[in-house]
Structure 1
Amino acid sequence: MLSLDGVGVCYWRGHRPLQVLRDASMHVHAGELVGVWAKAGGGKTTLLEVCAGVVAPEEGRVVINGEELGGLGKRRTTELLQSTVGLATRQGPAIPDLPMVTWIALGLMRHLHRRDAERRARQAMGRVGLDALADEPWRNLSDSERILLAIARAAVCEPRLLLIDDPTSGLDMTERLHLLGLLRSMTSATGVAVVMAASDMADLQGVESVWSLVDGHLVGPPQESATVVELAQRSKRG
């Protein structure tokens, strides 16, 4: 569903280059729940923005659902990202008093009547258990409610890849477990691939596989070595 191959991203801090991603490679399959850990300011938001097509890398390839973003025209890239990728962040609506149902429905109004878009938005809110907050503005919501509704907004178009930036920050243990349970149920029920980033490794407990982003390099989950397996097998025979 998602492949990064040798991705590099560099920003400039004054006259100094800041290499945020260095030869970063990662593969995520449909129905997989993947975590990415990085310290605060370590590049996890940039990584998700590259995966979402928001940031174009200077080096490497980004492939989503079998299509390389760099090889597509602008129109096809827009179509692919709108239909396939959902990005959830903690940034709320630009209009403070906008009801949550309208905010979530906005992405659907390009091709649906407002009434139909808001009906689907309420359904998406119901799937995260917060349809009762349809008429509430962002400022009235708790941290837990905000991230759940951000996920509902990212998922309302039924993407095949869902990217979530730091969803567990500020949540208590019960809220974290509820969130992870929701994401696991989404992957198993719909086959959506989910990548969530966090700055605390403890927040990724229960995630199927965890990658680490250190000095711009992505380090994959540890693999059991062939030597360990062989020794274990010999021990059993002995």
Structure 2
Amino acid sequence: MIRLDRITKTFQEGERTRVILDDVSHTFPAGRISALLGRSGTGKSTLLNLVAGLDTPDRGAICVGDVDLTALDERARTLFRREQVGFVFQFFNLIPTLSVLENVTLPLELQGVPLRHARARARDLLAQVGLAGREHAFPDTLSGGEQQRVAIARALVHEPRLVLADEPTGNLDLETGEQVLDMLEALVRERGVTMLMATHSRAAVRRADAVWRILHGKLVPEEETMTHE
């Protein structure tokens, strides 16, 4: 569960203060897929960064499960991300000098999991995303869809309670994007993980249990936005 309690976030643009989130309170249920739909610049990625503890709000509290991120210092937030959060990005963010297996194993190594166990878990997930036999390939030898499959395996290998996906199909063609969404949705639902996904894609939105827009700093259900715009 993700709970936002009166969150406000602003950015300074010269002499102007830009309000991104304005006194937002909301709960995203555990074990559900929630989508944030809308154009660039509306605050979708900002909200993901706040929920990940990569940024802090000006006011308000953010809780993931029983953890109040706004009460943690920077080191504690880093440890929280390492242990509890999986990330899937538009541009994959794989480490080019590491093999597929090494990229997926990395989150477990950072947690101190013995290498033999980490590699076994990584190989199992790579098989689940259709990349058995490609463990020793490097990212630049893979297609975009294959790289995103590696990113999904990396995001889930340490069994996080929360997956944050920022435009996960934004760099893929339509058919490949659908395949990646099929895989991501199946793995997330199989594990009972909470996923918050920022997207422009209607195909991605169809996978969500609930859809929201950030409109004038507020979180608005998608079905209500036509009366606000």
Pair in the same fold by TM > 0.5: yes
Distance in 2 (CA, whole Å) between partners of 1:135 and 1:77 is 32
Whole-angstrom CA distance in 1 between matches of 2:47 and 2:151:
18
SS in 1 for 2:107: helix
Question: Is 1:142 the counterpart of 2:139 in the alignment?
Answer: no
* Corresponding residue for residue 4 of structure 1: 4
> Following TM superposition, by how much is the alpha carbon of 1:76 offset from its aligned partner in structure 2, in angstroms?
4.7
Q: Is the 8 A contact 1:36 1:210 kept in 2?
A: yes
**RMSD of Structure 2 on Structure 1 (CA):** 2.3
Q: What amino acid sits opposite 1:100 in the alignment?
A: V
Within-5 A mapping of 1:176-191: 176-191=177-192
Residue 163 of structure 2 contacts residue 193 of structure 2 at CA under 8 Å; is this kept in 1? yes
Q: Secondary structure at the match of 2:133?
A: helix
For the Cα contact (< 8 Å) 2:181–2:204, is it kept in 1? no
Instruction: Report the Cα distance in structure 2 between the residues aligned to 1:13 and 1:222, rounded to whole angstroms.
Output: 32
| Cα distance change of structure 1 residues 201 and 25 upon mapping to structure 2, 3 Å threshold | farther
Q: Work out whether residues 9 and 20 of structure 2, in 8 Å CA contact, stay in contact via their aligned partners in 1.
A: yes
2:30 corresponds to which residue? Answer: 30
Give 1:32's aligned amino acid.
Answer: R
C-alpha distance in 2 between matches for 1:43 and 1:217: 10
Matched residue SS, 1:39: coil
Q: Secondary structure at the match of 2:47?
A: helix
CA distance in 2, matches of 1:15, 1:91: 35
Quick check: 174-183 or 145-154, which moved more? 174-183
CA distance in 2, matches of 1:93, 1:186: 20
The within-5 A match list for 1:184-223 is: 184-222=185-223
Using structure 1 for the length normalisation, give the TM-score: 0.82
Q: What is the distance in 2 between the residues matched to 1:187 and 1:92? A: 20
Shift of 1:150: 1.4
SS of structure 2 residue aligned to 1:54: coil
Identity of aligned residues (%): 31
Contact 1:33–1:183 under 8 Å retained in 2: no
CA contact (8 A) 1:39 1:200 kept: no
Q: Which amino acid aligns with 1:11?
A: F
Match of 2:162 in 1: 161
Range moving further from structure 2, 105-114 or 169-178: 169-178
Structure 2 spans left out of the alignment, 5+ residues: 225-229
Decide whether the 8 Å contact of 1:26 with 1:220 is kept in 2.
no
Instruction: Indicate the residue corresponding to 1:70 in structure 2.
Output: 70
Equivalent pair of 1:52/1:87 in contact (CA under 8 Å): no
Alignment check: 8 A CA contact 1:31 1:193 kept? yes
Distance (Å, rounded) in 2 between the aligned partners of 1:41 and 1:105 = 33
Secondary structure of the structure 2 residue equivalent to 1:213: strand
1:97 aligned onto 2:92: no
User: Could you say what secondary structure the match of 1:109 adopts?
Assistant: helix
Q: CA deviation at 1:63?
A: 0.5
Indicate how the Cα distance of structure 1 residues 81 and 98 shifts in structure 2: closer, same or farther if over 3 A, else same. closer
Q: Deviations over 1:117-143 (max 9, x none)?
A: 222222222222223332222222222
Q: Which amino acid aligns with 1:197?
A: A
Partner SS state of residue 132, structure 1 = coil
1:25–1:127: structure 2 CA closer, same or farther, 3 Å change rule?
farther
Separation of aligned partners in 2, 1:15 and 1:142:
44
The one-letter code matched in structure 2 to 1:146 is Q
**Structure 2 contact 214–220 (Cα < 8 Å) conserved:** yes
Which 5+ residue runs of structure 1 have no aligned equivalent? 224-238
Which deviates the most, 62-71 or 21-30?
21-30
